[in-house]
Amino acid sequence: MKDDIVIVTAGIIKKDNKILIAKRKEGHLVNKWEFPGGKLEPGETPKDCLKRELCEEFGIETKIGKYLATSNYEYPHIKIELIAYEVEYISGEFKLNDHQEIKWVKREELSNYDFAPADIPIVNKILGE
């Protein structure tokens, strides 16, 4: 077991009073819902990481907004620190490069989805707003 903590970012993308969630398509946590984002690269800030990941995962341009919450979770194979930010969608057609499905859901509908464990504290934070 590695003691290193992997920093991961997550974007809370809002449009028309709905939030984007994405379903994982392969590997660890397949079929779990998450807020899209990804692992921090060396020399990157969390905001730069999130902007890059959203472009890679969906082919969209975004503006990363204010910090929302952090979730720490230890999976059997990895410890992660998930940092969530509010995100403004700017442009681009959503392409599913890393996910099998995306949905725009109302805030109060988030609890109806089977989220990855690290994302659950973020869901709870949003629901508590």
Rounded-to-integer distance, Cα 55 and Cα 27, Å = 21
CA 69, 73, 77: angle at the middle one, nearest 5? 145
pLDDT of residue 3: 64
* Per-residue confidence (pLDDT) for residue 26, from 0 to 100: 79
CATH code at 9? 3.90.79.10
Q: What distance in Å separates the CA atoms of residue 99 and residue 109, rounded to the nearest whole number?
A: 20
Q: What is the pLDDT of residue 120?
A: 97
Residues found in the chain: 129
Q: Which of 42, 47, 93, 39 is nearest to 66 (CA)?
A: 47
Q: What is the CA radius of gyration of the chain?
A: 14
pLDDT in tens, the chain (129 residues): 346 899 999 999 998 899 999 999 877 788 999 999 999 999 999 999 999 999 999 999 999 999 999 999 999 888 999 999 999 999 999 999 889 999 999 999 999 999 999 999 999 999 997
Q: Measured between alpha carbons, how far is 41 from 51 in angstroms, rounded to an integer?
A: 12
The answer for 31, left when phi > 0, alpha when psi is -120 to 50, beta otherwise, is left
State the residue range of the domain holding 107. 5-128
pTM, rounded to two decimals: 0.92
Q: What is the pLDDT of residue 1?
A: 38
Domain count, the chain: 1
